[in-house]
Amino acid sequence: MALEENIKTHNSKAHKEFENLLDKDFKDRKLIENEIIKAQITEITKNFIICDVKAKMEGMIPVEEFKFDDEISKLKVGSKIDVFLERVESFKGEIVISREKARRVNAWKKMEKVFESQEELTGYITGKVKGGYICTVDSLPTFMPASQIDIRPLKKIDHLMNTPIKVIATKIDKNRGNVCTSRRAVLEKSKNAEISEALKNLKEGDIVEDARVKATTDWGIFLDINGVDALLHVSDLSYGRVKKPSDMVSIGQKLKVKITKIDKKTNRVSASIKALTEDPYENLGNKYQEGKIYEGEATKVMNYGVFVKLEEGIEGLIHSSELSWSDKNIDPSKVLSPSQKIKVKIVSIDKDAKRISLSYRETLDNPWSKISDSIGQVIEVKIKNISDKAIYAELENGLVGMIHYKEISYKENIEDIKKYKKNQIVKVKLIEIKNEKIKLSIRAMEKDPMNWFKENNKKVNDIITTKVYEVSKTGVKVAIDKEKQLISLIKKSDLAKESADARPEIFSPGNSLDAKITELDFETRKIKLSVKAAQIDEEKSLLKKFGAGATKSGATLKDIFGKALGKKKKDKK
């Protein structure tokens, strides 16, 4: 019994001593949650990596967390790794650690350091999202826009999925924990380095014999010059006009070009073919002179004119206004067509701007030089177009004249336009040519009613007898001649001296009215008559004849008119 008690006492003391040592060891370890700690691998199983982190028990990490960089193949018992301590003790009493989270935290810290230096990192495209892809860098998921995966757009990226690629961090949001990465930046950096090295062997002014055509566009050709991309702009292909670069070259063709510009900042190279040949505009004055006629070929018809090739590399423009004598706004395609051989006259040469203005109509007979002989003559014309206020008719020589609606008849009724139709042949009189505009008239072939005044020797201030033609609220229209060709309006205010008598409704068609001519203009065809002015003139005449001294004796107009009327009665007896 005594022996057993001694053994128990000894074991109890040893157990307490072991607990004290263990507690002291745990106090020295200082395990803090949500921090990265060192762990030593004690066992590698099929599904887990078991690690000692100097806690009460060992931690277990799933094998899947070691999948990147083929890290699992490099692990062995005794290896030390960084792990992230999530929980010192879970609800199951187990310690929770993570290799992936440790890598993610380290990756974020590393990302912050390399963002400023733009150091290259290794990442894996692990998934696709809206607008781009997920690129995982050391377990840290980052966003890579679709435009940043390659220098050129890729239709498929299967070959890049889950394979190591080099990327650069382009944007970091610390608040949200977001990172944007770019593979394109790495490729461009590498390519720019290669281009910079290749450019050391090129300089402006060099002539390259074997520049290879890579691609063509409407505005130029892309070349490969010893591994360097160069642009041959359409304007540098030839001194003449080039319709499409693809018509001149084919993919893979080798061209002889001259290096015209190298931009060291952007590594862009410009090349030229026309720089290899002499500028034909340098000696232009020796071949072509303003005012002379030359032969050419229409190359391009535009809505504003036609381009004409005088010789290889030299072209001029015929503006639409220089195509026809009859129509300055004619459609160029109705006059000339591409490849048509024509004669042109050089209007002007701008050597500095390399522009030549041409005229086609100057090589044709000018109908304006003879048309002036036809002024005042009656001619036949064909109606081409009818507008709201005028008729446009074509003369025999192709020129077009205008018949204003007021020139249709002397009544100047706008409704007269409706009597005429397109393509109708009518007789007109050519009455005026001014600023290359022809004025025609139909009424000019008839007798002008305004001649009535000249034939009857009537002028301003004369009193004439008219017939009421029409009564309206504003006045009375009267016919001056018997044929009723001259119709004039006497306004209400001019119908009588007394306002009480100036009422249009007291008149009827056919009534005779004496009126004074107050205005007569043959050019504007303006006639103004006044009954009121005629009455005032008549009163003045009576006063002058019978009222001498009447105002002194107190006589009134009534007395004077009474005497005048009485005297007329006696004379009749």
Q: What percent of the chain shows pLDDT beyond 90?
A: 20
pLDDT for the residue 225:
83
The sign of the dihedral angle between the CA atoms of 337, 340, 346, 352 is: positive
CA distance 216 to 249: 8
Cβ atoms 252, 246 nearer than 8 A: no
pLDDT for the residue 268:
82
Q: Give 87's pLDDT tier (boundaries 50, 70, 90).
A: confident
- Rounded average pLDDT over 421-433: 91
pLDDT for the residue 402:
93
- The DSSP-derived string for 311-337 is ETTEEEEEEGGGS-SS-TT--GGGT--
Q: Residue 110: is its pLDDT beyond 50?
A: yes
Cβ atoms 106, 148 nearer than 8 A: no
φ/ψ of residue 444, rounded to 5: -65, -15
List the single range of 200-204, 265-269, 553-557 with lowest mean pLDDT: 553-557
> Tokens standing for 202?
């090129």
Q: Residue 30: is its pLDDT beyond 90?
A: no
- Rounded average pLDDT over 94-117: 79
> Tokens standing for 38?
């060192």
- Residue indicated by tokens 């008549």: 538
> Quick one: which H or E segment has residue 156?
none
CA distance 10 to 2: 12
Name the β-bridge partners of 219: none
Q: Residue 9: is its pLDDT beyond 60?
A: no
Q: Give 24's pLDDT tier (boundaries 50, 70, 90).
A: low
The sign of the dihedral angle between the CA atoms of 286, 288, 293, 294 is: positive
| pLDDT one-digit tens code per residue, 447-501 | 888 888 888 898 999 899 999 999 988 899 999 888 888 888 999 888 888 888 8
> Tokens standing for 502?
């100036």
φ/ψ of residue 460, rounded to 5: -60, 140
| pLDDT one-digit tens code per residue, 373-400 | 788 889 899 999 999 999 999 888 888 8
CA distance 69 to 79: 17
Q: What secondary structure, in 3-state letters, does 204-227 show?
A: CCCEEEEEEEEEEECCEEEEEECC
**Where are any strands of DSSP class E within 326-423?**
341-350, 355-359, 378-386, 390-394, 400-404
pLDDT for the residue 559:
54
pLDDT for the residue 550:
45
For the domain covering 454-545, report its CATH number: 2.40.50.140
pLDDT higher at 238 or 126? 126
Cβ atoms 301, 340 nearer than 8 A: no
List all residues 6 or more positions away from 271 whose beta carbon is below 8 Å from its beta carbon: 208, 211, 223, 225, 230, 231, 232, 236, 257, 258, 259, 260
Note the Cα 425 to chain centre separation in Å.
45
**Strands 475-479 and 526-530, how do they pair?**
unpaired
CA distance 86 to 177: 19
Q: Does domain 201-276 have CATH number 3.40.50.720?
A: no
List the single range of 131-135, 205-209, 387-391, 512-516 with lowest mean pLDDT: 205-209
Query: What letter represents residue 118's amino acid?
Result: Q
- Rounded average pLDDT over 45-49: 87
> What Å distances lie between residue 277 and 219, 260, 535, CA to CA?
21, 13, 93
Q: What is the DSSP secondary structure assignment for residue 161, as one 8-state letter?
A: B
Ramachandran class of 53: left when φ > 0, alpha when ψ lies in -120 to 50, beta otherwise: alpha
Q: Residue 365: is its pLDDT beyond 60?
A: yes
Q: Residue 22: is its pLDDT beyond 70?
A: no
283-286, Cβ contacts within 8 angstroms, sequence gap of 24 or more: 284/314, 284/349, 284/351, 285/349, 285/351
- The domain ranges of the chain are 26-114, 118-190, 201-276, 289-363, 368-445, 454-545
Note the Cα 328 to chain centre separation in Å.
26
Q: Residue 18: is its pLDDT beyond 70?
A: no
Which residue intervals of 222-355 are DSSP H helices?
A: 284-287
Q: Give 237's pLDDT tier (boundaries 50, 70, 90).
A: confident
pLDDT for the residue 551:
40
Query: What letter represents residue 414's amino acid?
Result: I
| pLDDT one-digit tens code per residue, 285-332 | 788 899 999 999 999 899 999 999 988 888 899 999 999 887 888 899
Cβ atoms 399, 367 nearer than 8 A: yes
Q: Residue 534: is its pLDDT beyond 50?
A: yes
Note the Cα 50 to chain centre separation in Å.
70
Note the Cα 19 to chain centre separation in Å.
87
> What Å distances lie between residue 125 and 104, 183, 252, CA to CA?
16, 10, 35
pLDDT for the residue 293:
92
Q: What is the mean pLDDT of the chain?
A: 82
> Tokens standing for 376?
């005042």
- Residue indicated by tokens 């292909």: 237
Q: Residue 280: is its pLDDT beyond 60?
A: yes
- Rounded average pLDDT over 410-421: 88
For the domain covering 26-114, report its CATH number: 2.40.50.140
Among 2.170.150.20, 1.10.760.10, 3.40.50.2300, 2.40.50.140, name the CATH number for the domain at 118-190. Answer: 2.40.50.140
CA distance 223 to 215: 7
Query: CA nearest 360: which of 333, 342, 340?
Result: 342
Name the β-bridge partners of 213: 223
Query: CA nearest 310: which of 357, 248, 363?
Result: 357
Q: Residue 26: is its pLDDT beyond 70?
A: no
Q: What secondary structure, in 3-state letters, does 535-572 show?
A: HHHHHHHHHHHHCCCCCCCCCCHHHHHHHHHHHHHHHH
> Tokens standing for 55?
């806690």
CA distance 540 to 403: 47
pLDDT higher at 1 or 542? 542
CB atoms within 10 A of CB 261: 12
| 26-114 and 118-190 in the same fold | yes
Query: CA nearest 396: which of 364, 363, 430, 436?
Result: 430
289-363 sits in which CATH class? mainly beta
Q: Residue 556: is its pLDDT beyond 50?
A: no
- The DSSP-derived string for 496-520 is -SSTTT--GGG--TT-EEEEEEEEE
Query: What letter represents residue 495's amino acid?
Result: L
Q: Residue 341: is its pLDDT beyond 90?
A: yes
Cβ atoms 210, 224 nearer than 8 A: no
Q: What is the second-level CATH architecture of the domain 368-445?
A: Beta Barrel (2.40)
Name the β-bridge partners of 529: 517
